[in-house]
Every structure is written in structure tokens, then in C-alpha cells.
RNA sequence: GGCGGCGUAGCCAAGUGGUAAGGCAGCGGAUUGCAAAUCCGCCAUACAGCGGUUCGACCCCGCUCGCCGCCUCCA
């Protein structure tokens, strides 16, 4: 039984979808006005493993992750700086070109990290009618009001406001740093849609004039459009609990009268060398930068070695450690060779394969304890190596390989293979070099063989002499 | 000021009311022409500190200290 920590109740509870075996997941996607960074990686890798695991457990998952391509104003901004529009000015492109460019960049990075594509990646700009409809419904029910061209959600009209983030509306005023918009009836009210001024490019026609939707609205509209009024799991970053998710759930439930999300999952933040990573702090590391230093799978494993609800600090030491650990998995994969599905005969010496898988899924069931699961995986790696040392037949070896593939590849999403060849002819050339080295060693021309190994190492290739006289030459991708 | 989280070996990081998974690094050994990989052994009387509950707590409660997040756009 999968158990998940729900922010709304603060408890870790058994997960039960509204209508099993279907399960709907909505995860807040990126605002596409820049390259993705480490924070995106942590968040989306975590939810990717959740989706993979749920599918393995037999759920029919529909994974929806929005693309925010509507440049929301910050709520009370006087400057009218729309993130997309500002970036468009900088790059001398149309705002929609910016959105397209960084949407592609985002998917490219996520693909490299091994994340499965969401089943639906709805664009906010493509769901303006749904958002307008939601605003209209909220006005009708008395939860929203028009003020000129703006429409605000009336926080006091919804008694549940504050439950998700554990805040009381009365407390919010005390420490609030926000300036109060003059046309709000209550300082706590938030915008459902805003009137666009003349300079605003991204705007749409609505019953209240030309404007654009409020920040929280798109998620409500798209989540309900594709997953129904009650969704099973809503995920996102911890920093979005308030005000984004608080407002999102309030406006959704106010509109439908139903529970919006059965489980709220929030992943913790990324720090770099102990410091908060933030765009405003200037220490945000883009994934494209990181991929030059560490291969994507190293970053993926590093992320999975910590829990999604714990903060994750990126450091060179940690990433190097993950690179070594990944190598251990890969070395085993190449020792084991092709795989068969996991089904060792009972009472066989391969009992440990199923035991490992059981322990592994047990860890993931416990609120996605990926560090625990990774620990099980490495226990398994050692056991496989022990078996290999003792000598195993191809059949059992394929079963062990199947176990590795199930845990490491299918569920954790780590691709077992090293970096792909840099050219079509590389494998051929490496094969020839390997034969050549074997021949040199056979003739005891060690100086020549070692010189060859040194030269290859300098060029970024590892040479391992396998039992039986063969040599394995592989390209190493690692830190510069 | 309000709300929340965290503090486990050199580094990273799980975990259970009954005496500490795993990874990396390190050390010793096996194997190897030498390596690499792999295997074996070693590596926290200790889980921030101080009290309390308990037969017994790292895990429950209280306090203290330290770090961090949110309350403003951010995964």
C-alpha cells in the first residue's frame, strides 16, 4: 500500500484514488521564460519516480503538468513587469517565441534526466476560455467580484482559506509585506484576472475587457479540465504552498463545492553549497550548465539519494560521490548482460532477487523513500557481484539483470548504459582497440599495452581487463 | 512578528521504543603482469545540547542552541 505525506492534513496516509485503478496527478510545471535549473530537476525527477512507481503498482496514471506561458504579473506589481514579456524584450523576440523556445529547452533537459513526458502538458495560454469560465462561476457564487477590469477572489467568502498552509487569515495581515491594491475590498483578496494596460502584449478578451488571468487560476482550470473536479494528487514545490496552492485550492473548491485535491505533495528546495538557490540571488545553476560538468544520470541519482521532502544541497563532493555510485551500477549492468523478467524459481539461490525487489518497493511505498530504495539497490548490487564472483550460469544471470533493470531503470529511471557513443563509428573503433590490447597482453607486450591504456585514459576512456583476456574500453563522462 | 522544517560518522543519507541501512571517501587483505572492476575485513558505546516519561529512547514530551524555508515571482 502506497503511503504519501499530505500537506493538507500534515499526515502520511494510505493513498487511495477516487476511482481506482485510475489516478490523476497534477504537478505545477515551469514558467517558460528561461532555462530550467536544479530546482526543476529535483522536483520533476521526484514526481517522475512517483509516477513510474504508481504505474508499476498497477495504477492507470494520468500525469498532467502545465506549461505556464502566460506572463503573470506579480500580484501587486506597479511596474507591470511580465516575466515573459521582459525576457522577450531582452532577447528581441515575441513573448510566444520565448515561451516556445524555453518549453523546448525544458523538455530537452527533462528528457536528458530520464523523466517520462507527462501525459498532458497543457499550456495556460491554450486554456483561457476555461479560466474565464471559472471566474464567471466564482462571481456567480459570490466568491469573486469585479472592480473595474479586475476580478478578485474574496478570501473571506471561503472559510477554508489558510488550511493548506496552516495560516489564519487574520495572521496574514500582520506580517504582510504586500501593498494593498486600492480596488480590493479586502487586502487578502487575490486577483483572478487583471485588466491589461496598453503595453501588455499577452492579453485576451473576456467579459471584463482585455486582460490576462491571475497566477493561480490556470492550475485550477487545467487540473479540473483534465482530471476532474477532484484530483487524486497535486504536487509542486514547497515554496508554492502559500500563496499559490492555498489560493488555487480555495478558488477551485469555492467554484465546485468539492474537495479539490485528495493529496497535496510538496517537494523541498535546492541549495547550492548551503545557500538557497534563487533566480533573484543570481546563483541559480541551469541544467544545461550542470550537464557540462556532470552527466544527467549522475544528477538524477544524486537527487534520488535524498528524500523529496528534504532540502537538497548540491556540492561537487556530493555529485562526485554520486558519479562513483552510478558507475557501480553500470559496471554491474555490463557484467550481467541482457535481462529476463524477474521470476526466479522458488527456493533457488536467486531468492535474493525477489527479496530485493520487495524491499525496494516497500521503501518506495513509504512516502517515496528513494534514499531507502537506493540503499536496497546497492545491497542488491553487492549480492549480484558476489554471485558473479561465485560463478553463475547465463540463465540466473539474466534474472539478476532483470532485477537490476526493474529497480534501477524502470522505477528509478536511471539508464544503465553509459553515455552514448559520440559517433557511429566509435563502437567499432573501440572494439578494434580492445582486440588490439588483448593481443598485446597475450604477447606480454605490457609496456605497449599500458601506453595504450594511458593514452586512452587521457582521452577520456576507461580500460578494464576482464577475465578471459578481453578488455573493455568505455568512454567516461564525468566532471571536467 | 506569524507559520513550517531540519540538526545521525570525514561527506551524503535512511531508520526503529529495546541498543544504528546504504553510498562516497579512507585503511588492511584477496584478485590482477600492473591497474580498473569485484570480493572480504575495518571504519558512529553514538544519533545538536539539557531535562522529563519509560524497565529501556536516536526514535515520545518540554526547553535551549544552531541551520533553513515560506509569509513577494520562483520547482
pLDDT of residue A12: 85
Nucleotide with minimal C1' distance from the CA of A469 is B32
Q: pLDDT: is A464 or A26 the higher one? A: A26
Stretch A166-193: mean pLDDT:
73
pLDDT of residue A78: 45
Taking the CA of residue A321 and the C1' sugar atom of nucleotide B11, their distance in angstroms comes to 9
B75 closest protein residue (CA to C1'): A40
Highest mean pLDDT among A273-287, A434-448, A452-466: A434-448
Helix, strand, coil percent content, chain A, rounded in steps of 5:
45, 15, 35
Taking the CA of residue A426 and the C1' sugar atom of nucleotide B4, their distance in angstroms comes to 53
Taking the CA of residue A317 and the C1' sugar atom of nucleotide B43, their distance in angstroms comes to 20
Enumerate domains of chain A plus CATH numbers.
3-267 (3.40.50.620), 287-411 (1.10.730.10), 426-475 (no CATH)
Residues A375-403: tens digit of each pLDDT: 999 999 999 999 999 888 888 899 999 99
Q: What pTM does this model have? A: 0.93
Distance from C-alpha of A125 to C-alpha of A71, rounded to nearest angstrom: 10
Nucleotide with minimal C1' distance from the CA of A47 is B75
Peptide bond into A243 cis (omega under 30): yes
Contact A448, A442 (CB under 8 A): no
Q: pLDDT: is A171 or A145 the higher one? A: A145
Q: What angle do CA A439, A440, A441 make, to 5 degrees?
A: 90
Q: What SS3 class is residue A245?
A: helix
Among A131-145, A167-181, A449-463, the least confident range = A167-181
B6 closest protein residue (CA to C1'): A310
Q: Cβ–Cβ contacts within 10 Å for residue A292, how many?
A: 11
Taking the CA of residue A292 and the C1' sugar atom of nucleotide B68, their distance in angstroms comes to 29
Contact A346, A353 (CB under 8 A): no
Distance from C-alpha of A151 to C-alpha of A463, rounded to nearest angstrom: 66
> Does residue A478 register a pLDDT over 90?
no
Stretch A214-231: mean pLDDT:
94
pLDDT band at A260, cuts 50/70/90? very high
pLDDT of residue A73: 58
Indicate the burial class of A431 (C-beta count within 10 angstroms; 0-12, 13-18, 19 or more): exposed
Stretch A207-220: mean pLDDT:
91
B21 closest protein residue (CA to C1'): A375
Nucleotide with minimal C1' distance from the CA of A323 is B24
List the nucleotides on chain B closer than 7 A to a protein CB.
Answer: 1-6, 11-15, 21-25, 32-40, 67-75
B14 closest protein residue (CA to C1'): A372
Give the closest residue to A368 by CA, choosing from A116, A93, A45.
A45
Contact A234, A223 (CB under 8 A): yes
Nucleotide with minimal C1' distance from the CA of A176 is B71
Dihedrals phi, psi of A405, to nearest 5 degrees: -65, -40
Distance from C-alpha of A318 to C-alpha of A337, rounded to nearest angstrom: 29
Contact A59, A4 (CB under 8 A): no
Taking the CA of residue A319 and the C1' sugar atom of nucleotide B20, their distance in angstroms comes to 26
pLDDT of residue A58: 96
Stretch A217-229: mean pLDDT:
95
Residues A17-59: tens digit of each pLDDT: 999 999 999 999 999 999 999 999 999 999 999 999 999 999 9
Distance from C-alpha of A35 to C-alpha of A116, rounded to nearest angstrom: 19
pLDDT of residue A344: 65
To the nearest whole number, what is the mean pLDDT of chain A? 87
pLDDT of residue A179: 53
Distance from C-alpha of A200 to C-alpha of A203, rounded to nearest angstrom: 7
Q: Cβ–Cβ contacts within 10 Å for residue A468, how many?
A: 6
Nucleotide with minimal C1' distance from the CA of A167 is B3
Stretch A147-157: mean pLDDT:
91
pLDDT band at A219, cuts 50/70/90? very high
Taking the CA of residue A212 and the C1' sugar atom of nucleotide B50, their distance in angstroms comes to 56
Contact A336, A401 (CB under 8 A): yes
Stretch A465-475: mean pLDDT:
80
ipTM, two decimals = 0.92
Q: pLDDT: is A54 or A243 the higher one? A: A54
Does an H or E element contain A226, and which?
helix A217-227
Nucleotide with minimal C1' distance from the CA of A275 is B68
Taking the CA of residue A371 and the C1' sugar atom of nucleotide B46, their distance in angstroms comes to 22
> Does residue A442 register a pLDDT over 70?
yes
Does an H or E element contain A35, and which?
none
pLDDT band at A110, cuts 50/70/90? very high
Taking the CA of residue A22 and the C1' sugar atom of nucleotide B60, their distance in angstroms comes to 38
Taking the CA of residue A403 and the C1' sugar atom of nucleotide B73, their distance in angstroms comes to 44
The percent of residues in chain A predicted with pLDDT above 70, rounded, is 91
Does an H or E element contain A206, and which?
strand A204-206
Amino acid at each position: 500500500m502506497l503511503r504519501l505525506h499530505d500537506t493538507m492534513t500534515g499526515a502520511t496516509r494510505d493513498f487511495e484514488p477516487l476511482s481506482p485503478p485510475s489516478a490523476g496527478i497534477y504537478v505545477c510545471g515551469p514558467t517558460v521564460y528561461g532555462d530550467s535549473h536544479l530546482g526543476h530537476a529535483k522536483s520533476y525527477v521526484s514526481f517522475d519516480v512517483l509516477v513510474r512507481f504508481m504505474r508499476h503498482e498497477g495504477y492507470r496514471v494520468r500525469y498532467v503538468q502545465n506549461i505556464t506561458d502566460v506572463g503573470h504579473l506579480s500580484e501587486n506589481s506597479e511596474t507591470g513587469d511580465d516575466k515573459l514579456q521582459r525576457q522577450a524584450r531582452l532577447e528581441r523576440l515575441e513573448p510566444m517565441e520565448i515561451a516556445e523556445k524555453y518549453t523546448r529547452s525544458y523538455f530537452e533537459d527533462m528528457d536528458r534526466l530520464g523523466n517520462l513526458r507527462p501525459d498532458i502538458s497543457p499550456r495556460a495560454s491554450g486554456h483561457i476560455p476555461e479560466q474565464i469560465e471559472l471566474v464567471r462561476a466564482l462571481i456567480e457564487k459570490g466568491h469573486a467580484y469585479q472592480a473595474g477590469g479586475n476580478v478578485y477572489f474574496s478570501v473571506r467568502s471561503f472559510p477554508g482559506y489558510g488550511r493548506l498552509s496552516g495560516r489564519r487569515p487574520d495572521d496574514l495581515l500582520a506580517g504582510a509585506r504586500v501593498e494593498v491594491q486600492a480596488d480590493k475590498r479586502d487586502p487578502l483578496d487575490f486577483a483572478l484576472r487583471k485588466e491589461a494596460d496598453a503595453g501588455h502584449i499577452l492579453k485576451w478578451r473576456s467579459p471584463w475587457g482585455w486582460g490576462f488571468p491571475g497566477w493561480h487560476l490556470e492550475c485550477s482550470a487545467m487540473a479540473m479540465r483534465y482530471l476532474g473536479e477532484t484530483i487524486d494528487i497535486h504536487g509542486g514545490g514547497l515554496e508554492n504552498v502559500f500563496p499559490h496552492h492555498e489560493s488555487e485550492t480555495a478558488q477551485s473548491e469555492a467554484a465546485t463545492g468539492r474537495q479539490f485535491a485528495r493529496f497535496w505533495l510538496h517537494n523541498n528546495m535546492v541549495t547550492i553549497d548551503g545557500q538557497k538557490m534563487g533566480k533573484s540571488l543570481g546563483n541559480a545553476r541551469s541544467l544545461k550548465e550542470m550537464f557540462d560538468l556532470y552527466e544527467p544520470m549522475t544528477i538524477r541519482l544524486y537527487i534520488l539519494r535524498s528524500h523529496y521532502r528534504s532540502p537538497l544541497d548540491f556540492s561537487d563532493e556530493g555529485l562526485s560521490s554520486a558519479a562513483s555510485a552510478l558507475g557501480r551500477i553500470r559496471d554491474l549492468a555490463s557484467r550481467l548482460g541482457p535481462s529476463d523478467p524477474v521470476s526466479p524459481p522458488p527456493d533457488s539461490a536467486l531468492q535474493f532477487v525477489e527479496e530485493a525487489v520487495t524491499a525496494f518497493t516497500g521503501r518506495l511505498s513509504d512516502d517515496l523513500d528513494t534514499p531507502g530504495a537506493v540503499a536496497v539497490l546497492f545491497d542488491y548490487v553487492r549480492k549480484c557481484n558476489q554471485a558473479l564472483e561465485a560463478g553463475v550460469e547465463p540463465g540466473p544471470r539474466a534474472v539478476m539483470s532483470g532485477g537490476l533493470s526493474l529497480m534501477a531503470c524502470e522505477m528509478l529511471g536511471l539508464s544503465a548504459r553509459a553515455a552514448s557513443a559520440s559517433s557511429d563509428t566509435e563502437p567499432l573503433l573501440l572494439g578494434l582497440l580492445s582486440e588490439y590490447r588483448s593481443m598485446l597482453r597475450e604477447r606480454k607486450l605490457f609496456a605497449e599495452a599500458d601506453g595504450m591504456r594511458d593514452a586512452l585514459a587521457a582521452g577520456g576512456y576507461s580500460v578494464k581487463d576482464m577475465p578471459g583476456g578481453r578488455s573493455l574500453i568505455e568512454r567516461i563522462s564525468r566532471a571536467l
